[in-house]
Structure 1
Amino acid sequence: MSNPKRTVGFGGLIIAALVLSGVGGGMVGGVAGYRLAQVDQTATAVDVTPTTANPQTNANLTAQPVVANSNDAVVQTVANASPAVVKIISTVAGGQASGSGAIINEDGYIITNNHVVEGQNRLQVIYSDGTSHNAELIGTDAFSDIAVIRVLDAVPATISLGNSDELKPGETVVAIGSPLGKFQNSVTVGVVSALDRTIDRMEGLIQTDAAINHGNSGGPLINLKGEIVGINTLVVRGDIGSIDEAQGLGFAVPSNIVREVSDTLIANGQVVRPYMGISYELLSPETADLGIANGKGAFVTNVDEGTPARRAGVSRGDIILAVNGEEITQRHSLQRLLLQYKPGDTVTVTIERNGQQQDVQITLTERPS
């Protein structure tokens, strides 16, 4: 089977998802020229390269934190984390796709990307020692590009999810994966280039310059404490029709979003997302320069007919500032705030219209499939 890379044209950019022979994706952006995210989705979390853990003979090891200021911090981080990183082979119609994953507990649960396992009819996990193990699909969430699978065999090691809200630009991070599906447990090192990036419906993404290539989808982005701070999901390559090609523009789903989604998938097998029925653009400090709401909130670009937002009187051009008093920011986006509610809940939404604030009551429904 050929190994096409997944690319999506967006605002002159070429976006590539990082699964080898995989499927997936989409990209968008905002008020000054992006396509707008759908509120029907309350995303939290997205796509990386496959990797397999380093050979490990002792069972049930747990990745240990390392001292971040040690001269060999990266070496120690990799040594501790690699056994918990696996390669995932997904058999799909017409061939196979490969990606990465991270074992998060001794019950055999593995986090990866939705697009790594999408359309699968068989899943195999390759440990770092080269052994192959059958896996079952627990659940997927296309909006965050997160999936959970499980092996029933004993696992070689686990790695914990850290707190992505503590990340700072310039912080050292490590990506482990299997570029091109061949070079297992390849390690790349970089920094957190930026936080809270928005691409298509995916909000709050971590931008990193750690090299990420095809076959890395679903693999972990790790801090020097040895914790997962993100799940690698896509890269931006460059301008459509241009010979210029961007380098070092990789993106990962933050671990706090991954945790919310994976916990729900393990408990329920799916993520039921509440639905308002609007399209919006998440405002930022850059849009504040245009005089829009001090750069905070969600700028409503469309309200669908017959939806909860339309019934509540929300209009195009409104700015949603808060939900039940929780302010909308790039770190705490509308999607993420809504994920804590369920269909049938009524929330108080604070909007700004023509410079005046008002509260409206919106009863959420389930997002249409």
Structure 2
Amino acid sequence: MKRFFAFLLVVGLVIGSAIAGAYIGVRIASTNGQAVIGLETIIPTQTPELVTNSVSVSYSDISTTITQVVERVGPAVVTVVGTTSGQMTFFGYSGDQEVSGSGFIITNDGYIITNNHVVEDTQDVRVILSDGSELPASVVSTDSFADLAVLKADGVMPGVAVLGNSDNLKPGETVIAIGSPLGDFRNSVTVGVVSATGRSLDTGNNYQMENLIQTDAAINSGNSGGPLVNLAGEVIGVNSAVVRGSGNSAIAEGLGFAIPSNTALLISQQIITKGYFSRPYMGVSIQQIDPSIASRYDLPVQWGAYVTRVGAGSPAGNAGIQQGDIIVRIGDKVFSENTKFVNALFAFQPGDVVEVEVMRNNQKMIFQVTLTEMSY
């Protein structure tokens, strides 16, 4: 029984299939029973002259470029396959499931980038190369918050992808998605444009994925972890999420999201050199506060993080933060609809001393917290 992974979101809501999926906050669903989640007006001051010497780009030119890019990048794209353990249900043991996604090779010695949700809770991970050959792979480490994972496979690599600078992306640029939709159609190619940059998606777990690339290049189940490529043949994103609609919500098409290549490069380099990606740690468990919760419990703030537990000997505990405090700011990051606790925390590094503002008994208090490194 196969299960093919993609990020499936409903706008404003977290959804999933009947099969309980893994979380980064967002539930991963299978394709079986899939429940898939202004222009500035310029008024000329005078009638413009007709331009007669404009440069036109023909469809054949673009098509040739796309073909050349695919020929260059395609050998570096892999299908990632693994197995998840079955579960005992009312109807009996469900049996092990095969899971599938995409990835791409970034070094000659076999380091591969994919999505965390592709390999989370999987065993017997292997990669299928572009020529159809298969290699066993190990999961070096993952970062669930960024939805990234680095794999290692030993053998001769048929190609290596080059990561470009995602900060240079502009809306309207042509991009190419390469991957294995449904797990069976290896190295499938879809083409679209960069619809927007700097997008955020709420994972529903007190965290937002930030600075995402939005594209209308078709991203289907099994494309997760595959590269989003520009016309220079550079990987500028890692395909991760698709937003559609469900139930009574409007159905959206062409809403795919990719993790910027600069984020992927930063995290993968640290995983390769250190074995993990370093995240800051404060040592509190929290319940996110929004206006609805604030109204229901008559809280003094509209946005914040209610501290439900403080770890013994943690940075927060050592600084004096207590259970029942409401954190409203970390450093210069004031909590709001668009700034959640984890996002604010992750703007800093282990070792940073940050000013944390809390409300305690309706009184504002300030604490200096020295962040440590999150343990894995």
Query: Is the shorter-chain TM-score for this pair beyond 0.5, marking a shared fold?
Result: yes
1:145 pairs, out of 144, 147, 156, with 147
Aligned residues of 1:139 and 1:149 also touching (Cα < 8 A): yes
- 1:108 is aligned to 110
Query: Could you tell me which amino acid in structure 2 is paired with residue 204 of structure 1?
Result: N
* Distance (whole Å) between structure 2 residues aligned to residue 100 and residue 4 of structure 1: 10
Note if 1:235 corresponds to 2:246.
no
2:252 pairs, out of 246, 255, 262, with 246
Query: Could you tell me which amino acid in structure 1 is paired with residue 74 of structure 2?
Result: S
- 2:162 is aligned to 160
The verdict on how the C-alpha distance between 1:228 and 1:15 changes in structure 2, with shifts beyond 3 A counting, is farther
CA displacement at 1:22 relative to structure 2: 7.4
Note if 1:91 corresponds to 2:114.
no
* Distance (whole Å) between structure 2 residues aligned to residue 279 and residue 172 of structure 1: 42
Spell out, residue by residue over 1:25-83, the C-alpha distance to the aligned partner (whole angstroms, 9 max, x if none).
Answer: 4349xxxxxxxxxxxxxxxxx99x9xxxxxxxxxxxxxxxxxxx963332222121111
* Distance (whole Å) between structure 2 residues aligned to residue 321 and residue 245 of structure 1: 39
Query: Could you tell me which amino acid in structure 2 is paired with residue 363 of structure 1?
Result: T
* Distance (whole Å) between structure 1 residues aligned to residue 169 and residue 130 of structure 2: 28
The verdict on how the C-alpha distance between 1:319 and 1:172 changes in structure 2, with shifts beyond 3 A counting, is farther
Note if 1:77 corresponds to 2:79.
no
Aligned residues of 1:322 and 1:350 also touching (Cα < 8 A): no
Note if 1:224 corresponds to 2:235.
no
- 2:372 is aligned to 365
- 2:306 is aligned to 302
CA displacement at 1:319 relative to structure 2: 4.2
TM-score w.r.t. length of structure 1: 0.69
CA displacement at 1:14 relative to structure 2: 5.9
2:347 pairs, out of 334, 337, 341, with 337
Greater Cα shift, 197-206 or 220-229: 197-206
- 2:129 is aligned to 127
Spell out, residue by residue over 1:77-110, the C-alpha distance to the aligned partner (whole angstroms, 9 max, x if none).
Answer: 2121111101111123202111111100101100
Spell out, residue by residue over 1:290-337, the C-alpha distance to the aligned partner (whole angstroms, 9 max, x if none).
Answer: xxxxxxxxx6443454364574669647344638xxxx999xx64553
Q: Percent identity?
A: 44
Find the structure with the greater CA-based Rg.
2
Q: CA RMSD in A?
A: 3.8
* Distance (whole Å) between structure 2 residues aligned to residue 238 and residue 322 of structure 1: 35
* Distance (whole Å) between structure 2 residues aligned to residue 121 and residue 210 of structure 1: 31
The verdict on how the C-alpha distance between 1:110 and 1:4 changes in structure 2, with shifts beyond 3 A counting, is closer
Q: Which has the higher contact order (CA 8 A, sep 6+)?
A: 1
Aligned residues of 1:16 and 1:237 also touching (Cα < 8 A): no
CA displacement at 1:121 relative to structure 2: 2.1
Query: Could you tell me which amino acid in structure 2 is paired with residue 78 of structure 1?
Result: V
- 2:275 is aligned to 269
The verdict on how the C-alpha distance between 1:349 and 1:260 changes in structure 2, with shifts beyond 3 A counting, is farther
The verdict on how the C-alpha distance between 1:275 and 1:73 changes in structure 2, with shifts beyond 3 A counting, is same
Aligned residues of 1:22 and 1:116 also touching (Cα < 8 A): no
Aligned residues of 1:175 and 1:219 also touching (Cα < 8 A): yes
SS in 2 for 1:238: coil
The verdict on how the C-alpha distance between 1:133 and 1:346 changes in structure 2, with shifts beyond 3 A counting, is closer
Aligned residues of 1:80 and 1:226 also touching (Cα < 8 A): yes
* Distance (whole Å) between structure 2 residues aligned to residue 82 and residue 92 of structure 1: 28
Aligned residues of 1:6 and 1:16 also touching (Cα < 8 A): no
SS in 1 for 2:332: strand
* Distance (whole Å) between structure 2 residues aligned to residue 211 and residue 335 of structure 1: 33
- 2:47 is aligned to none
* Distance (whole Å) between structure 2 residues aligned to residue 144 and residue 166 of structure 1: 20
* Distance (whole Å) between structure 1 residues aligned to residue 256 and residue 16 of structure 2: 10
- 2:263 is aligned to 257
* Distance (whole Å) between structure 1 residues aligned to residue 119 and residue 229 of structure 2: 22
TM-score w.r.t. length of structure 2: 0.68
Aligned residues of 1:140 and 1:269 also touching (Cα < 8 A): no
- 2:37 is aligned to none
SS in 1 for 2:71: helix
The verdict on how the C-alpha distance between 1:269 and 1:235 changes in structure 2, with shifts beyond 3 A counting, is same
* Distance (whole Å) between structure 2 residues aligned to residue 112 and residue 231 of structure 1: 7
Aligned residues of 1:8 and 1:25 also touching (Cα < 8 A): no
- 2:52 is aligned to none
* Distance (whole Å) between structure 2 residues aligned to residue 14 and residue 359 of structure 1: 34
* Distance (whole Å) between structure 2 residues aligned to residue 165 and residue 329 of structure 1: 21
* Distance (whole Å) between structure 2 residues aligned to residue 85 and residue 140 of structure 1: 19
- 2:328 is aligned to 318
Runs of 4+ in 1 over 6 A off after TM superposition: 4-9, 278-281, 312-315, 350-353
Query: Could you tell me which amino acid in structure 1 is paired with residue 265 of structure 2?
Result: R
* Distance (whole Å) between structure 2 residues aligned to residue 171 and residue 104 of structure 1: 23
Q: Map 1:13-24 onto structure 2 (within 5 A).
A: 13=13, 23-24=22-23
